[in-house]
Amino acid sequence: MRFATYRHDGGTHAGVVAGDGLHPLPEGTTVLGLVRTGLPTALALGEHALGAPAVPIERVRLLPPLDPPTVRDFVTFEAHVEGIAGGVVPEWYEAPTFYFTNPYALVGAHDDVPVPPGSRAFDFELEVAAVVGRDGSSLTPAEARDAIFGYTILNDWSARDLQRREMKVNLGPAKGKDSATTLGPWLVTADELAPFRDAEGFLSLEMRVSVNGTEVGRDSLAHMGWPFEDLVSYASRGTWVRAGDVLGSGTCGNGGCLAELWGRGREVPPLAPGDVVEMTVDGLGTIRNTVVAGPGLPPVAPARRRTS
């Protein structure tokens, strides 16, 4: 089943996606609330909602499917790391590294995305995200598999110049990443993707990204270094994950972002206002965002230097 959050007739609603449009759930229902009820209950409520009249998708504005408590983003594609860094450090293989990004910067599947203030090297990142369906601590991979509610497409928009500067201070990424993250177009429940799952837990879903109608990247989600249950298990290691938490796969390889192409010697320009970035993942749908000019803010003041 596919759950969406959308704006229609001045209100925000949650609904079930079907061939004839969006079937609204009862007023006051949120997708985060559905996730917290657990998958069986959510599926039952969704089946009931399919009896309500549908709203055509072209008449709504799709919002991010849910408001997650936290967003973690991993780096699980070896080809991406190799392209970005010119090689893979031994430490990458030891554990699935992640960082926390900004849950307040989420944008919908077709929203405009402003260039971050001060950035001249704006980039996209083609990813898939898992949504946790129940609270848990120090979960085993088997427990983590059962705790995944569903999946959605994630575009981790990145200001590469800001990111490079702040990571030289051995912190971040932070401002290089927190201007926008697209989630959408909807949340697909885990049971719907079971046919794509192999014996090791990897999902064989083709991923594609184009800029202004020209394909620049294509990969398979099955090329992750760890399956999603390992990511959820690691995130919960010695701490907690909560229902609604979003965990990104990290950028796929084979052109999943411009920075990988730059690292491989391809001379392609960074994103600029007017560029349209479209991402499609089999089984999950398509997101399409237009880059627009960002706010004109004054430069950041440099630090006061120590005088003694």
pLDDT at 283 (0 to 100): 98
For residue 171, pLDDT over 90 is answered with no
The full DSSP string for the chain is -EEEEEEETTEEEEEEEETTEEEEPSTT--HHHHHHH-HHHHHHHHHHHTTSPPBPGGGSEEEPS---S-EEEE--BHHHHHHHHSS--GGGGTS--EEEE-GGGEE-TT--EEPPTT-S-EE--EEEEEEE-S-EES--HHHHHHHEEEEEEEEE-EEHHHHHHHHTTT--SSTTT-S-EEEEEEEEEGGGGGGGB-TTS-B--EEEEEETTEEEEEEEGGGBSS-HHHHHHHHTTTSEE-TT-EEE----TTTSSHHHHHHTT---PPB-TT-EEEEEETTTEEEEEEEE----PPPPPPPPPP--
Q: What is the pLDDT of residue 72?
A: 98
Tens digits of per-residue pLDDT, 289-305? Answer: 999 999 999 999 999 99
Tell me the per-residue pLDDT of 4-50, one tens digit each, with 9 for 90 and over: 999 999 999 999 999 999 999 999 999 999 999 999 999 999 999 99
Which domains does the chain possess?
2-63 (no CATH), 71-292 (3.90.850.10)
Query: Tens digit of pLDDT for each residue in 43-68?
Result: 999 999 999 999 999 999 999 999 99
For residue 172, pLDDT beyond 90: no
- pLDDT tens string 83-113: 999 999 999 999 999 999 999 999 999 999 9
- Position 308 pLDDT exceeds 90: no
Q: What are the tens digits of pLDDT across the range 189-214?
A: 999 999 999 999 999 999 999 999 99
pTM value? 0.97
